[in-house]
Structure 1
Amino acid sequence: MKQETVEQIFRAAVEIFAESGFERAKMDDIAQRAQVAKGTIYYHFKGKEELFVALMNSGMEKFTDVVRRATEAHQDPADQLRGLLRAKVTYLYHHGTFAKLLLSEVWGSKERQQAFRARIRDLVELIEGVLRRGGDSRFTSSRDRLHETAVAIFGAISVTVLQEIFRAEDRELLEGDRIEVMLDTLEPLICGALRD
């Protein structure tokens, strides 16, 4: 199957899973939205669970790559954290349907939980690395504390963006302005992790 067809299936699946939730989503609806035969989907994915996991893994790989590149574009840990913050907020906001799925549907089955724990762990470790490079003894002296801080940063950004996505659905908001507002709100909280 051509990569374009897989991407077409993924785009349709994201929409259907977001609209219906994982349990109520039907492969027929995904096939119809993707404009492919249902057999085309089953040729590559054993079922809805496998399609969902592949879809989210693909999305998480893209997301992690964007965040990693934004972090690596800077030398200073504070700038790395700001780059990470901007990349994560912007990516999740521009991919709101993916963000909703990431934060709502991935905790369903045991298979999904295991797959996403590994992907989320990659992002948390990226944040931990920035904090470690920042050299703040509050966080680097204890591995547990460093990890908990990175998880808190990951969660704060994710939930803030998710709430903004829900607000934007309720009324028209200027996208660029909302991203800047979120960044202005989150930066002192997140980047404060590198200061005394």
Structure 2
Amino acid sequence: MGARREQTSRESRDLILAAAAELFAEKGYRQTTFADVAERSQISRGSIPWHFGSKEGLLLAVLEHSVEQLNDRMHEDSAGLDEMLDGAMGYLRLPISKLFVTLLVEALEPDSPIHDRYVAIQDALRERIRVWAEQRPLPEGVTADALSVAVMGALIGIHQQWRLSPDKIDLGEAFGALRVLLR
């Protein structure tokens, strides 16, 4: 009986996370309510604080879940440029990646509950790129740290432009140009 209850609880948590991620991406964190999440997930409103404690707890859980998906896509063990960019592009094509664009504005606010976590996420992604860059000969005057900042900026910029104008931005072509520049 306990195993079934645990499975049901896990399923409810997953439904709430998925609904909250969609709503945060669509409406933003501040505009999304527990009632919105309950309606979208079809899970009782009271279950949300039971699972996550607070709206901030829900936001952090959504962010953590999204980071796990991104890490799965980025292939931790792959050091090749193509694998790294293919993983990033594959993730950006997922609907959940819109959440990172939406939450970036939220993370910029000084009192944001996700500011520090968002900084940590970007630090980790830049570190992954820096490690990749250190394994290659770099042009004179270009450090692996500086290149990782530039590549991260390009990835964020491409993603934002594509999300704003998907009919005008060819994601594959933009990533192809980035590949050429990084070789």
Asked if 1:86 is matched to 2:93, the reply is: no
Higher relative contact order (CA 8 A, sep 6+): 1
Alpha-carbon distance change, 160 to 82 in structure 1, aligned in 2, over 3 angstroms:
same
How far 1:137 sits from its partner (Å)?
6.6
Structure 2, gaps ≥5 residues long:
1-5
Structure 1, gaps ≥5 residues long:
75-79
- The letter for the 2-side match of 1:93 is R
CA distance in 2, matches of 1:83, 1:138: 25
CA distance in 1, matches of 2:124, 2:27: 28
Higher helix proportion, which one? Answer: 1
TM-score (norm 2): 0.82
Which residue of structure 2 aligns with residue 126 of structure 1? 128
Question: 1:46-195 to 2 correspondence within 5 Å?
Answer: 46-69=53-76, 72-73=77-78, 80-95=80-95, 96-108=97-109, 109-136=111-138, 138=140, 145-168=143-166, 171=167, 178-189=170-181, 191-192=182-183
TM-score (norm 1): 0.77
Percent of matched pairs sharing the same residue: 24
- The letter for the 2-side match of 1:92 is L
CA distance in 2, matches of 1:61, 1:112: 16
Contact 1:45 1:51 in 2 (8 A): yes
Contact 2:130 2:148 in 1 (8 A): yes
How far 1:64 sits from its partner (Å)?
1.9
How far 1:103 sits from its partner (Å)?
3.2
CA RMSD of aligned residues (A): 2.4
Alpha-carbon distance change, 110 to 180 in structure 1, aligned in 2, over 3 angstroms:
closer
